[in-house]
Structure formats: C-alpha cells, structure tokens
C-alpha cells in the first residue's frame, strides 16, 4: 500500500484514537482497533495501516503524510514486542 491509501486513513484513525489521547497503546491494540473499525470502511486493505505509519518520531516507506510532522497521531515510546505508542 502506498502513502495515498495510508493518508486516507488518517482522519478515521484520528477519530478512533480520541478516547486514547494522552495514553499509551500497543501495536496490538492499534491492530485491534483497525480490525474492528477501520475494516468497515476500507475492507481488507485496512490491515496495512500501522501505528508506525502515523508516527511523529519515525517514518516508514509508504507512511501517511503526517509522519514526522505535528499532525502525527502517535509517537513511539518503546520498541519491541509489543511496541508502545503514545497517542497524541
């Protein structure tokens, strides 16, 4: 998936993350939100939307245009399994 698709998911993910603002979530929790909610709008393509695509302190190839900007949805606070992200 390219940045165009991932960028389309920015606003829907932002709405889903509102209750988590200021809290840490794991990449597993992110995946659960995507699976339960984003799939309704984007179908199976939603599985390709990762927290790291909307991150303030890292940028993957094909990431949302919010990555590494003030519009990012999360910031990674801990790497590993699971990784932890602070919801901005």
> Could you report the per-residue pLDDT of 56-76, keeping only the tens digit for each?
998 878 888 899 999 999 999
pLDDT of residue 2: 52
- Residue 26 sits at the vertex; the CA angle it makes with 21 and 29, to the nearest 5 degrees, is 85
What pairs with residue 46 in β-bridges? none
Tens-place pLDDT, residues 15-52: 999 999 999 999 999 999 999 998 888 888 888 889 99
In this predicted model, which residue has the larger pLDDT, 5 or 83?
A: 83
CB atoms within 10 A of CB 21: 11
pLDDT of residue 47: 86
Q: Is 60 exposed, middle or buried (0-12, 13-18, 19+ CB in 10 A)?
A: middle
pLDDT reading at 1 higher than 80: no
Q: What does pTM read for this prediction? A: 0.87
């Amino acid at each position: 998936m390219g940045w165009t698709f991932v960028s389309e998911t920015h606003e829907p993910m932002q709405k889903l993350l509102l209750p988590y603002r200021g809290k840490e979530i794991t990449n597993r929790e992110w995946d659960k939100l995507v699976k339960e909610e984003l799939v309704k709008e984007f179908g199976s393509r939603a599985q390709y939307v990762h927290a790291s695509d909307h991150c303030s302190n890292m940028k993957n190839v094909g990431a949302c245009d919010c990555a590494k900007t003030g519009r990012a949805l999360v910031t990674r606070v801990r790497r590993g399994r699971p990784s932890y992200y602070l919801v901005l």
